[in-house]
Amino acid sequence: MNPKVNVIVPVYNVAPYLDIFFESLINQTFQEFDIWIVNDKSTDNSLEIIECYAKKFPSKINVINNSVNLGLCGARNVGLDKCDSNGEYILLLDSDDYIEATYIEKMVYYADKYNADITICGLERFDDNTGRCVCKEMINNTEEVVTDIRNFEMLGYMNPVVWNKLFRRTVIGDIRFTTIKRSEDTVFLFSVLPNVKSVKFVNEVLYHYRLRNTSLSGSITEEIYESMLDGFKKTKKIFTRDSRYEEFMDLFVVQMFIRCGLGGACRLSFKDMRKVSYYTNKTKEFMDEYFPEWRKNRYLSLQQFWKRNFHALAVSCAATLYKCHLFVLFIYAYWFMSCVCKKDLRL
């Protein structure tokens, strides 16, 4: 009998974290799943640890060794291509994190009960050095199953990461990750949305995300930033050629603004605050050239601001500051709160 869930896990030089990850995965209260480990040409002893667990659980763990390093997106695609057990659901996990023992059980339970195409749980970000919880996300969502996907505003603001989401296999189909170096999860999520009829939230923390100095989320470079801009530009071209994405374009633009206009511009500026104006102007020029509709996007305006939650209001205010050529003020305020006051404000 085919396992109900295929768990796809790219691995690249995360040996210090693999034991914790594997133990949290192997000891799940729900066991109808198989694991597809994609070793992406690791140069540390990750493969040795992987093979140790594969020998202990040969019927559950499948190991794929890439002959060249393909990066996160490429490794995930290999896993999606190779997993052949035809499970009903797919999980895409990160190998340096860990999950609650009931993670898969609860995700599958709610997906089955509500016939959800995507099931989303809460997550905790914790500091790798101290173990301290930095913040918790996605735990205050609607309890009702969401069926009006095209008018679900939260799609524009919610964290698009894939690892806290259980996907029904049929909504992914032959869709694969792009090769951009940041915001690949945003592009993937919006790529599958036309196939999604329902979303269910599980409002409790089931996933623990490790914040590392060397992780992609903990660092950004000029190269990564350029790749992100280029990825959004190319994705928009693809989406505009397919009428199925038309109804999601407003929300996709909001995600683009958050990832590029806020996250990208702010984090690059934090590396060198002397270049705040440069990154702000560069980002605004990019948005004006390739996403000119951002200026009239209803979610990026202050109309009916009293109906917005704090996060949505902050995004709208940031967009307004961009339009007034004052976004540098936002960056300085964000820098002060994040770096001086040590407050985690996720954008």
Q: Is the pLDDT of residue 240 over 60?
A: yes
Work out the angle between the directed axes of helices 327-335 and 310-323 (0-180°, nearest 10).
Answer: 130
Say whether both 93 and 211 belong to one domain: yes
Average pLDDT over residues 208-220: 67
The pLDDT, as a whole number, for residue 217 is 39
Q: Is residue 346 part of a domain?
A: no
Asked if residues 268 and 225 have their Cβ atoms less than 8 Å apart, the reply is: yes
Say whether both 31 and 174 belong to one domain: yes
* Tokens matching residue 290: 């390739």
**Alpha-carbon distance 201 to 118, whole Å?**
9
The pLDDT, as a whole number, for residue 336 is 77
The domain boundary residue, chosen from 194, 216, 238: 216
Say whether both 49 and 110 belong to one domain: yes
Say whether both 157 and 279 belong to one domain: no
Average pLDDT over residues 113-140: 94
- Structure confidence at residue 85 as a pLDDT band (50, 70, 90): low
The domain boundary residue, chosen from 152, 187, 216: 216
Range of the domain at 19: 5-216
CA diameter of the chain? 61
Lowest mean pLDDT among 53-57, 193-197, 213-217: 213-217
Say whether both 17 and 145 belong to one domain: yes
Please count the structural domains in the chain: 2
Average pLDDT over residues 163-171: 97
Residue type, 203: N
- Structure confidence at residue 218 as a pLDDT band (50, 70, 90): very low
Relative to beta strand 165-168, strand 118-127 is: antiparallel
Say whether both 247 and 181 belong to one domain: no
Average pLDDT over residues 252-258: 96
Q: Is the pLDDT of residue 216 over 60?
A: no
Lowest mean pLDDT among 48-52, 80-84, 104-108: 80-84
Say whether both 118 and 266 belong to one domain: no
Task: Quick: pLDDT tens for 298-332.
Answer: 999 988 777 778 888 989 999 999 999 999 988 98
**Alpha-carbon distance 66 to 135, whole Å?**
34
Say whether both 176 and 320 belong to one domain: no
Say whether both 208 and 73 belong to one domain: yes
Average pLDDT over residues 225-254: 93
Q: Is the pLDDT of residue 215 over 60?
A: no
Average pLDDT over residues 192-207: 97
Say whether both 144 and 93 belong to one domain: yes
Neighbours of 339 (CB within 10 A): 11
The domain boundary residue, chosen from 216, 236, 253: 216
Q: Is residue 317 part of a domain?
A: yes
* Dihedral angle sign, alpha carbons of residues 217, 291, 74, 35: positive
Q: Is residue 174 part of a domain?
A: yes
Q: Is residue 247 part of a domain?
A: yes
Asked if residues 109 and 72 have their Cβ atoms less than 8 Å apart, the reply is: no
Say whether both 236 and 119 belong to one domain: no
Q: Is the pLDDT of residue 164 over 90?
A: yes
CATH for 15: 3.90.550.10
Q: Is residue 347 part of a domain?
A: no
| pTM over cut 0.85 | yes
Task: Give the position of tokens 């090769």.
Answer: 179
Say whether both 331 and 296 belong to one domain: yes
